[in-house]
Amino acid sequence: MKLISPVIVGLSVNQINIIINTRLASGLPNGNITAFSYASLLTGAFYGTFATSVVTVIFPTLSREGSTGDYEGMKSHMVKAINNINMIMIPVTLGIMILRYHIIDILFKHGKFNTYSVEITAIALLYLSIGMIFYGIRDVFNVSFYSTNDTKTPMVNSILGIAVNILISIILVKYIGIAGLAIGSSASAAICAVLLMKDFRKKMGSFGGHDMISTGAKLILSSLVMSVAVFIMNNYLSKYMVGFKLELLFTMLIVIVGAAVYVTMMLLLKVKEFRYLYGIVANRLTSFQN
C-alpha cells in the first residue's frame, strides 16, 4: 500500500488538473466548460493514441532492468523511449496547433456547437496541445522511478505540478480566460518533466541527455519544416473547405503531405530512431514480396 498510493497520485495528475481547471472554468461565460472538456478530450485522445503505447511497452523492460540493477540498460531504453515519443508528439503537437480549427469543425461542429464554440475550444486546444510533448517525458521518467521502487519522487513532483497549475490558472484566468487554464495545465506538465529529469540525474547520474537533446533538435527542425508546409497548404486550401466533406478531404490531404515532408526531413537529418524503424519496415516489405 505504501508503494501503491504514491503511484496513484503520480498517475492521476492529468485527471486532477482537468478537474481543477473545469472547476475554475465554471466562473467563465457559458460554453467554456464544454470547450475546455472537448479540448482536454482531444489532447488525451491524441496522446493516448500515439504515446501511451510506447510507455506501456517500455515499462516491463525498465522494470526488469531496474530490479536487476542494470541501470545503464535502463537509462538507454529510457532515452530511446523518450526519443520515440518525441518523434511522434512534436510533429503531432505542431500539426494540431495549425489545424486546430479544422479538427474541431470536423469532430464537433454540429447542433448547438456553433462558431463561438469552435473559437473558444480552439483557444484551449492551442495551449493544451503544448503540454503533450512534456506528458511523454514525464511519464517515461515516472515509470523509470517506479522501476527502482521509488514512488515518492514522482508523487512529490506531481503534487508540485498540480500546485503550479492551480497558481498559474488562478492568476491567468482573470486576464485571458480559458487560455489561462490551458497554459496552467501545460506549464504543470513541463515543470513536472523538468523536475523529474533533474531528480533522476541526481539519483542515477548522467542518463544520455546529450543524445536526447541531439535527437530532439533534429526532430524539432524536421517538425518546423513540416509546419511551414502545413501552414502554407492550410492558408491556400482553407477557402475551398466549404462543408464537412471538403473540409475533411482537404485536412486529410494536408496531413498526408505534412507527414511526407516530416519523414523526408528525418531521413535527410539521419534521425537514428526513424532510420531503425524505416529499416524494419523496409525489410518486412522485402520479405513479404519475396
Report which of residues 70 and 260 the model is more confident about. Answer: 260
Burial of 276 (0-12, 13-18, 19+ CB in 10 A): exposed
Largest CA distance in the chain: 64
Q: Count, in order, helices (H) and strands (E) of the chain.
A: 11, 0
Q: Give pLDDT, residue 3.
A: 46
DSSP state of 208: -
Q: Half-sphere exposure (CA, 13 Å, Cβ side) for 13?
A: 33
Cell matching residue 152: 515518492
* pLDDT tens profile 69-93: 788 888 888 888 889 899 999 999 9
Cα separation, 4 vs 7, in Å, equals 5
Q: Give pLDDT, residue 1.
A: 46
Q: Give pLDDT, residue 2.
A: 47
pLDDT at 254 over 80: yes
| 163, 185 Cβ separation under 8 angstroms | no
**Which pTM value belongs to this model?**
0.86
Question: In this structure, what are the phi and psi dihedrals at residue 51, rounded to the nearest 5 degrees?
Answer: -120, -35
| Residue type present at position 38 | Y
* pLDDT tens profile 171-202: 998 889 999 999 999 999 999 999 999 998 88
Cα separation, 213 vs 218, in Å, equals 9
Cα separation, 203 vs 248, in Å, equals 49
Cell matching residue 190: 513541463
pLDDT at 285 over 90: no
Cell matching residue 285: 516489405
Report in angstroms the alpha-carbon separations of 47 from 52, 198, 277: 7, 24, 20
